[in-house]
Structure formats: structure tokens, C-alpha cells
A = this chain, B = another copy of it.
Amino acid sequence: MEWEDLARELSQQTDSKIVLLVMDGVGGLPADGKSELEAARKPHLDALAKAAVCGVSDPVMMGITPGSGPAHLALFGYDPLKFQLGRGILEALGSGVEVGRDDLVARGNFATVKGGLVADRRAGRIPTEENARICGYLNEHLPRHAGVEIRVFPGKEHRFVARFTAEGLSDALSDADPQSEGKAPIPTMPLGLEASKASEVVNRFLADVAAVLKGEAKANAALLRGFSKFPSIPTMQELFKLRPAAVANYPMYKGLAKLLGMEVIGVGGETADLFDALEKNWADHDFFYVHYKKTDSTGEDGKFDAKVAAIEALDPFIPRLLALKPDVLVVTADHSTPSSLKCHSWHPNPFLLVSPTAGVDDVAVFTERACAKGLLGRFRSISAMPLMLAHALKLQKYGA
């Protein structure tokens, strides 16, 4: 029996409430002997760690650096090695693009092609309004082909989402993106026999775009990557009998949450917005995923001090969270983003869990090395959901 089957069998709906606060990429590495978490002044998070049981968790397995998709899937109780989500589908859902079972979606860039070579992969980061105008023009002027419907949806700057609707479109396609400038645009290639129709549809679209946009100074070509279809994945309602909500600002995280059946509570980019939304929607859900992005983006930028500041900026909001009296509160990350590496990493996430049934350990601060000595030990992130459900008394006994 697998964890999903166990979850379906043992989970029960109750009134208890769970909050999963994801400080994206918060784990880091020391500079001058202290990691970002060790350098930050964060009295409320440290008090939480003292009241909590702590541990460290590996998103996928030891040594594996995950993307945001697999890292979040694991936290939500889905095996990231079993459920693989294309970035295109996450971007599409997060941007509010409706995606059905016959749809194939991809992330797109408008690009500048000169003399047959990609001169700028981002078309000079054209303004977002310009992007909207171009997408509108394409949707109106792209030639129609029988049995296929295509729409493009503008994103920020040069980014867009392409949606292809037709029967029998496979997403087993290579990226149509040379990845670097000075090279010729490349077509997509089918990665299996079943994708020959999809590759023809996509490559004809790329040629059509170049023809329709040939008069544009900057955005005169499209690059596509992350082809994906709506995956077959059970919802959190089905698996865990939760009424889940996602409080998040960025499209990717909102898209993933929607895919898993969460109600997406979109918020602005201010830290206070997260807690305003949490308070406002507290009565309507029993599981809240709250996504704090700044610890990751500062880490990706390689800014140690800015990441420390991002941790310190979140800390004063912890009392507002506690005032809601969640039955289970977990603070952790999806993956680590050490500012010294300027990217996601494989280091385990610090993890704390507060609940009346948590027990005690001797961890007194919320840092990587303190959490590693906690009662929870080292575990895979996919265990976070069974742990949260158990402490919320939402799991029945297994066997007699």
C-alpha cells in the first residue's frame, strides 16, 4: 500500500486547522561562520522553534536540488518522483489561463531574430503593455488551421503562455528554444512517436508567428519551452479530505495550488498582504499554505544581507499568525537557496512544527544546525503532510 492509498483510507475531515508557512529557499550556507538564518534577528521565529519540535527535511532525496514544482509537491504530500509537472502548466494556471484535458500549453518568450539568428532571447524586455498588444494581434491574425485552436496569453515583459487545443496532442516535445543568443531558432522535436502531431502543430505555429510579426522591430519571433498537458493528479480534497487554501503572490505557486484543488487567494507583494488574507479567510478553510517569496529571490540574487533582512521582515508577523490559534503550525521551506550559490540547492530545509501533541525537544532557535538536532530528525519532505495531518488529529489508526 502506498502513502496515497493510506491517506485516502485514513484521512478524516475535522474542524482543526493547519497552517504551512513556506519561507521559500530560507535555508542557506554560512558566510563568516553564520548562515542567513543564524545572522538574522528573529525573536518570534526562535520562540516558535523553542515551543516546537524541529527537524530538517530533504525535498526529494539527499543531494537532489529540486525546482519549485517538485519541492512544493513534496510538502503537500505528493511524491515528487511520481508526479512530474511541466513548468508550462504551472505558469499557465498561475496566470489564470484555463487549461482543459485536450490542451497543450507552453511557456513562451518573444524574441528578436536578425539575419536568421536569435539576437535577443527576450526581445529587449518589451513593456508588458506592448506584449498585450502583440498577443491580441496574434490571436486575431494567426492563420486558422482545421481541428486546431491556438491562443496566446500575455505575461510580464516578454513572457507569454501558448495554448494549443486539439485532439491527441502529446507533450513529449523538446523545447523550441536555442537557450542562447547568436544561434538560429530551433523547432520542437517529438520525443516519441505519439508526439508527431503535436510537433507539427507547434512548428507550424512558430512559422506563422514569424510571418505575422515580421514587421515588428523587437518581438518578431517566439521561443517555446516546458510543453505540458493537464496532469492526472488527485486533489488534496480527494486524498486528505482538506478544504485547502493557498495564500500566494506569484503565478507558479498559485498555479500549482490550483492544480491540487486549493482555493487560490491571490495577494499583493507586501508581506502584510499574506497575513491580511489569512485572517480574512480563516473561517473558510482548514489548511492554509502561505508562501513567502523574498527569502528565495534574495538568495537567488546572491544577496546575503538582503536575505537576512527578508527573514527579519517576516518575523514580526508571527504573532498575528499565532493569534489565529492554528492547531498545527509548520514553518519550513520548499528548498534551500544559499545566497553564496545564487540558486536552489540540495541542502535540507529547517523545519518546525507547533501543536499541542508535538512533544518537546531541546531546539531553541530556528536555524539549519539547531533544527538538525531536533526530535523530528532528518526526513523527506513528503512526510510533512502525514505529520501535519496526524498532529491535527485528521488521520485514523492504520490496522488493528
Interface set of A (CB-CB < 8 Å, partner B): 1-3, 6, 10, 29-30, 33, 35, 56, 60-70, 80-82, 84-87, 90, 226, 338, 340-341, 343-347, 357, 359-362, 368-369, 372-379, 383, 385-390, 395-400
Contacts and interface: CB of A to CB of B under 8 A. Distances in A.
Given A62-B383, A399-B66, A369 B378 contact: no
23 contacts: A3-B61, A30-B360, A56-B377, A60-B398, A61-B383, A62-B383, A62-B386, A63-B387, A64-B395, A66-B399, A68-B400, A69-B399, A69-B400, A70-B399, A86-B400, A87-B400, A346-B386, A346-B395, A347-B357, A359-B368, A369-B375, A377-B378, A378-B379
Given A360-B33, A372-B375, A399-B67, A387 B86 contact: no
Given A35-B360, A66-B399, A369-B375, 11 more contacts: A1-B81, A60-B398, A62-B383, A62-B390, A67-B397, A85-B399, A341-B357, A345-B357, A346-B386, A359-B369, A378-B379
Contacts of A86: 400
A398 B65 contact: yes
A386 B395 CA distance: 29
A377 B373 CA distance: 8
Contacts of A6: 64, 81
A361 B357 contact: no
A57 to B, nearest CB: 10
Given A62-B386, A375-B369, A399 B84 contact: yes
Nearest to A378: B377
A315 to B, nearest CB: 22
Contacts of A87: 400
Most chain B CB neighbours (cut-off 10 Å) among A84, A376, A386, A398: A398
B389 A226 contact: no
A83 B62 CA distance: 21
A28 to B, nearest CB: 9
Most chain B CB neighbours (cut-off 10 Å) among A63, A84, A87: A63
Nearest to A374: B372
Contacts of A372: 361, 374-375, 377
Most chain B CB neighbours (cut-off 10 Å) among A33, A338, A359, A361: A359
B373 A347 contact: no
A221 to B, nearest CB: 23
A359 B30 contact: yes
Given A56-B377, A84-B399, A372-B361, A63 B383 contact: yes
